[in-house]
Amino acid sequence: MTSATSLAAAEETRGATAGRLPRGSRASAFWTLYTLTLRQHAHGRRWLVMGLLFLLPVGLAILVRSTAPDVPAIGLEFVLAHMFVPQALLPIVALLYASGLVEDEQEEQTITYLVSRPIPRWAIYSLKLLATLTTTVMIAAVFTGLTYAAIYIGADARGENVPLRCLTSASIHALALVAYCSLFGLMSLLTRRILVVGVLYTAIVEGLLANLPFGIRLVTVIYYARLITYRTMEFLVPLPRDRTENIAADAWQFDVASDPQLAEHPQLATCVAVLVVGSVVCTMLAAWLCAGREFHVKTPEKD
Amino acid sequence: MHTQVLDQVAGPAEVTPVVEFHGVSKWYGNVIGLNKLTLRIRPGVTGLLGPNGAGKSTLLQLATGQLRPSQGSVRVLGRTVWNNARLNRSIGLCPEQDAFYEWMTGWEFVLTCVRLSGLGRRDAREAAARTIDAVGMTQHRGRAIRGYSKGMRQRIKLAQALVHEPEVVFLDEPLTGTDPVARRDLSEIIRRLGSEGKSVLVSSHVLHEVESLTPNIVLLNRGRLVAEGHVRQIRDLIDKHPHHIVLVCDDYRRLASRVLAWEDVEGVRVLASEKGLMVETRAPDAFYGRLPALSLEDGLAITAVYSDDDNLEAVFKYLVTK
């Protein structure tokens, strides 16, 4: 037997007998990592911060309802659930969670326990992102429900199907969160100052550029989220003499006077596809980056 | 600095190494972690020795696939390590850092680690219970890790490295900070791993720790391999080089003139504060043999004789500073 053959035979034998324990599936390892990340989120303090932030629209709704009862509920819904939350809260939530996807484990030096297991690095990133999406979407859904409750309980809903509107809002928020988390997750692998970069991105790109009536807003998440909202929900506020006005078009710089159907803007399916495909592309890029990344853990001698 | 390659004690030369470094360098920017390291570690327990910053942790992180070599190749069990997650089924790592999911209990931690290795629920529970028992933590397994003592933390960290029954175990400073009881128990576990046929690479900067675990050692310093082989041979090695022997004597100046006449004495340094001499000799046995006569015939009352070179620490110091 040649040395090469004997080495191959040895490796084969080694592979067959590697460890004496019965081997479970990769799915078992993946599920454990997913649940581990969820538990980490539950034990962290981030969700408390998130809860407090998300209580802002709830508190504002209660405040407005109690001090200005004439404000139409649908107007309040638009301002809080479709302006304030997607513009301010969702990017912050996504940034705070996605920035720590891998960074937290590295900072706390527990990443060693993950990379020394038979789980590829790309899977570590993807599963942690998936768990992060689960957490953020759950938080957003619960507090969207609370916001709607604060706006509509006891208010004149004017025949609106409030539960359906709430469900639609929560779904749009979830989609936006998926996009934001995927984007910020990718950014977190490209820069060490993800919080600074993320805040700047949110302020400049999602805040400033998205509000300009130019093509540049097509590169923002919020633009597609708004378009989906506009195409699936109505925000008709009653005006004097039985007239109504769609406050969303004006607020979001949609020129409905010359293009009532927004034919020059992407259709609903396109908007959803852009956010989903964009998220998948960001995730794949980040997973690819992660696959080739070293996770250097500080040791006392290097501190 | 030249590497002292000594005869191995692990077995015949054709034994397949479990860990192979071939021309491996690792750079952290301008800082070098390992420098053109070529090393073959055979089955059994091997001690990895070196002072802080020698490159031990870098070596272990390369061997466990956490780091990618800047140059050269690293193989474990004949397979490339970097980006080979499947190989981790056969590798166990007890890292140096005192980092845990602090909110978990010891049981949850070990169970999570074995589940991350891909074991099914029932097998994982059995393996976790068995391993926790083996490291003597059954009684404390239900407590949160944040409340553990240093010794308990080291034990539970060792448990997570062993729970999936790896073929090769890498232990980075496993005895650091432990009390004597934990040290004794952990040492016993490591020795048992070797007797069970596992290959263990255990790092330490405390020489007597490793000496109590295995006679087979690898010495690193400044990212380079200084020596590898049997402790005994490293002891022999030092006999080829000057020993430092301290003689304490009231009339140390006269003593100095006497010993300088001996051919094997290469130098004498006066230790005035101790009323003694530091003698450098290449023939320590012969030197010791002449001392009684010196006292008797010349009336030089030597009140103390000692040498720092009699233990492995001295060997290590000599080799790394050579």
Higher pLDDT, B271 or B9: B271
Q: What is the pLDDT of chain A when averaged over all its residues?
A: 86
What type of residue is A59?
Answer: G
Per-residue CA distances from A105 to A109, B92, B117, B228 (Å): 6, 19, 18, 35
Percentage of chain A lying above the pLDDT 70 cut: 89
Residue A133 and residue A178 in contact, taking contact as beta carbons nearer than 8 Å: yes
Q: What is the pLDDT of chain B when averaged over all its residues?
A: 86
At residue B321 the predicted structure's pLDDT band, cuts being 50, 70 and 90, is low
A112 touches chain B (CB under 8 A): yes
SS3 content of chain A, % helix, strand, coil (to 5): 70, 5, 25
CATH of B242-309, one of 1.10.760, 3.40.50, 3.30.70, 3.30.530: 3.30.70
pLDDT tens sequence across B38-55: 999 999 999 998 877 889
pLDDT for the residue A187: 96
Residue A84 and residue A64 in contact, taking contact as beta carbons nearer than 8 Å: no
Query: Which residues in chain A have their CB less than 8 angstroms from residue B203's CB?
Result: none
- Mean pLDDT for A282-292 is 96
Tell me how crowded residue A25 is: count the other CB atoms within 10 A of its CB.
11
At residue B274 the predicted structure's pLDDT band, cuts being 50, 70 and 90, is confident
At residue B8 the predicted structure's pLDDT band, cuts being 50, 70 and 90, is very low
**Which of B78, B91, B160 has the CB atom closest to A7's CB atom?**
B78
Query: Which residues in chain A have their CB less than 8 angstroms from residue B78's CB?
Result: 7, 10-11, 14
Closest residue in chain B to residue A25, using alpha carbons only:
B118
Query: Which residues in chain B have their CB less than 8 angstroms from residue A303's CB?
Result: none
Per-residue CA distances from B240 to B232, B282, B317, B319 (Å): 13, 7, 15, 12
pLDDT for the residue A267: 93
Q: Identify the DSSP state of A180.
A: H
pLDDT for the residue A21: 43
* Mutate which: A45, A108, A116, vs B, most B CBs within 10 A: A116
Helix (H) or strand (E) holding A239: strand A236-239
pLDDT tens sequence across A211-237: 887 888 899 999 999 999 999 998 888
pLDDT for the residue A12: 42
Report the predicted TM-score, pTM, of the whole model to 2 decimal places: 0.81
Helix residue ranges, H only, B196-283 = 207-211, 231-239, 252-259
Asked if the model's pLDDT at residue A158 lies above 80, the reply is no
Q: How far apart are CA B252 and CA A140, in angstroms?
A: 84
Instruction: Give which of B168, B144, B140 is closest to B155, Cα–Cα.
Output: B140
Per-residue CA distances from B147 to A117, B142, B181 (Å): 26, 11, 19
Residue A228 CA to its chain's centroid (Å)? 16
pLDDT tens sequence across A108-149: 999 999 999 999 999 999 999 999 999 999 999 999 999 999
Instruction: Give which of A175, A174, A176 is closest to A140, Cα–Cα.
Output: A174
Higher pLDDT, A274 or A155: A274
Residues 277-296 (A) with a CB less than 8 A from some CB of B: 291-292, 294-296
- Mean pLDDT for B157-161 is 96
Higher pLDDT, A67 or A298: A67
**Which of A118, A292, A301 has the CB atom closest to B89's CB atom?**
A118
CB spacing of B85 vs A121 below 8 angstroms: yes
- C-alpha dihedral over A237, A239, A244, A248, to 10 degrees? -40
At residue B191 the predicted structure's pLDDT band, cuts being 50, 70 and 90, is very high
pLDDT for the residue B4: 53
β-strand pairing of B199-204 with B45-49: parallel
**Which of B66, B115, B167 has the CB atom closest to A18's CB atom?**
B167
pLDDT tens sequence across B168-186: 999 999 988 777 778 888 9
pLDDT tens sequence across A174-201: 999 999 999 999 999 999 899 999 999 9
Maximal CA-CA distance, chain A? 98
Lowest mean pLDDT among A80-84, B1-5, B299-303: B1-5
β-pair partners for B305 = B247
**Which of B57, B67, B88 has the CB atom closest to A118's CB atom?**
B88
At residue B281 the predicted structure's pLDDT band, cuts being 50, 70 and 90, is confident
The beta-strand segments (E) located in chain B are 4-5, 19-28, 31-41, 45-49, 71-76, 79-80, 91-94, 168-172, 199-204, 216-221, 224-230, 243-249, 265-271, 276-281, 302-307
Contact residues for A230 (Cβ-Cβ < 8 A; gap 6+): A248, A249, A252, A254, A262
Measure the N-to-C terminal CA separation of chain B; round to a whole number of Å: 7
Contact residues for A204 (Cβ-Cβ < 8 A; gap 6+): none
Residue entry with tokens 């191995």: B8
Asked if the model's pLDDT at residue A208 lies above 60, the reply is yes
pLDDT tens sequence across B87-124: 999 999 999 999 999 999 999 999 999 999 999 999 99
Contact residues for B308 (Cβ-Cβ < 8 A; gap 6+): B244, B246, B314
Nearest CA-CA distance, residue B156 and chain A, Å: 13
Closest residue in chain B to residue A33, using alpha carbons only:
B116
Higher pLDDT, B139 or A250: B139
- Mean pLDDT for B264-276 is 89
Q: How far apart are CA A226 and CA A232, in angstroms?
A: 10
Residue B123 and residue A24 in contact, taking contact as beta carbons nearer than 8 Å: yes
B4-236: in CATH 3.30.420.10: no
Nearest CA-CA distance, residue B67 and chain A, Å: 5
Q: How far apart are CA A27 and CA A24, in angstroms?
A: 8
pLDDT for the residue A221: 95
Q: How far apart are CA A278 and CA A284, in angstroms?
A: 10
A302 touches chain B (CB under 8 A): yes
Measure the N-to-C terminal CA separation of chain A; round to a whole number of Å: 51
Residue entry with tokens 């078009």: A249
Closest residue in chain B to residue A14, using alpha carbons only:
B77
Q: ipTM exceeding 0.90?
A: no
- Residue range(s) of every CATH 3.30.70 domain in chain B: 242-309
pLDDT for the residue A298: 61
Higher pLDDT, B16 or B14: B16
Instruction: Give which of A172, A150, A144 is closest to A54, Cα–Cα.
Output: A144
Instruction: Give which of A217, A224, A239, A199 is closest to A94, Cα–Cα.
Output: A199
Helix residue ranges, H only, A153-267 = 162-190, 194-201, 221-232, 247-251
pLDDT tens sequence across B213-255: 898 989 888 888 988 888 777 666 656 667 788 888 888 898 8
Closest residue in chain A to residue B127, using alpha carbons only:
A21
- Residue range(s) of every CATH 3.40.50.300 domain in chain B: 4-236
Helix (H) or strand (E) holding A245: strand A243-246
- The b/e string for B182-198 (b: 16+ C-beta within 10 A; e otherwise) is bbebbbebbeebbeeeb
Q: How far apart are CA B157 and CA B155, in angstroms?
A: 5
For residue A63, give both structure tokens: 């405040």
Q: How far apart are CA B274 and CA B268, in angstroms?
A: 14
pLDDT tens sequence across A50-99: 888 999 999 999 999 999 888 889 999 999 999 999 999 999 999 999 99
**Which of B93, B99, B119 has the CB atom closest to A24's CB atom?**
B119
Higher pLDDT, A167 or A48: A167
What is the full DSSP assignment across B65-77? Answer: TSS--SEEEEEET
Asked if the model's pLDDT at residue B209 lies above 90, the reply is no
Q: Identify the DSSP state of A83.
A: I
